[in-house]
Chains A and B, each alone.
Chain A
Amino acid sequence: MSIETRSKFQLFPSHEVNPSPWPIYMSFSLLSLGLTLGLLMHGYILSTWWLILAISVVISTIFLWTRDIIIEGTYLGGHTIAVKRGLNIGFLIFVGTEIMIFIALFWGYFHSAMNPSIEIGCQWPPVGITSIKPTELPLLNTIILLSSGATVTWAHESVLSRNRHNALLGLFITTLLIVIFVLCQICEFNSATFNITDSVYGSIFYATTGLHFIHMIMLSLMLAICTARMYVYHFTATHHVNLETTILYLHILDIIWLFIYIVFYWWGC
């Protein structure tokens, strides 16, 4: 039913979602991902192929679910102004939970770093840990992230002012910058002299930067999808919720990275 016919008799602005298998699919694929991770880490499963299988099931479920949402929103016109507002609020709350989890990790870091325990020699970084220098790769990463914030703003402005060429270019450059960031982080993790089992320093360092890293991978996928949807004319100057949430996500991860850089790389070295 098109939005025109529906608006003739429907008294509320929301659209009713058709029966969908994706929530239960998602639950089970996340369950299998969690179980596989746990069993793998504790040595009950020896092959990483199970993990790859679980991740690909999760990713394909996300893909199919968001495909349905795109059909509902872009092609069937289900996303009215009220629905758009709801989606944006939902995403804001999600971002709030992200901030909470990073606050928890920062708390853990400060707890261990401000009064280092005697087992690690009462100093931070602990005895025997060579921390990563903040003026090398992390500084480059910071610059990359800050410039990605600039390019994404340019892309957004271009979308709003109906400049398709610039918007596409801006989104493409942003995606590229985030991919470069991810690659730089992989380099840095590989060349670091400590790993996640090296004292509380290694644990909290990789827990936080690693979580941020996973988020950045997700963000590069989101940006790639936005670029693709931009290319196939999904976004209009007034209707681009996907792009808005992605931009918000990028900025939040940007800010979190700044704090990580200041605290983990600079203050904590």
Chain B
Amino acid sequence: MTEYKLQTPGFDARFPQQNQTKHCYQSYLDYHKCVALKGSDFEPCKVFWHTFQSLCPHDWVENWDDEREKGIFPGDLSIDQFKDKTEEKKE
């Protein structure tokens, strides 16, 4: 028997409403920004992955992945504004 942890994204003060659409969507954006900045092995990115995995319907995620491949994803996935900050920290 595999070990399971009963764990799911908890309450997020940014999304206190019954409507969790933006919670799911923002986590999806954050995950892909995080991966673009730090690479897919970066452990903290997993938090975003788990969040959108648990909240978004699979059809939505598949659809968004398709859109990203085709380059027609409407969301803001630019990471330039974060890049400057990380470089400053390194210096």
**Interface residues, chain A, CB within 8 Å of chain B?**
117-123, 126-128
Contacts and interface: CB of A to CB of B under 8 A. Distances in A.
Interface of A is mostly: loop
Nearest to A128: B74
Contact of A127 (B21, B22, B25, B74): B74
A118 B21 contact: yes
A118 B76 contact: no
A119 B25 CA distance: 10
Contacts of A128: 74
Contacts of B25: 118, 122
B39 interface: no
A122 B76 CA distance: 8
A222 to B, nearest CB: 44
A126 to B, nearest CB: 7
Nearest to B60: A118
A126 B76 CA distance: 11
Contacts of A118: 21-22, 25, 75
**Which of A117, A118, A122, A123 counts the most chain B CB atoms within 10 A?**
A118
Contacts of A126: 74
Interface in B58-86: 74-76
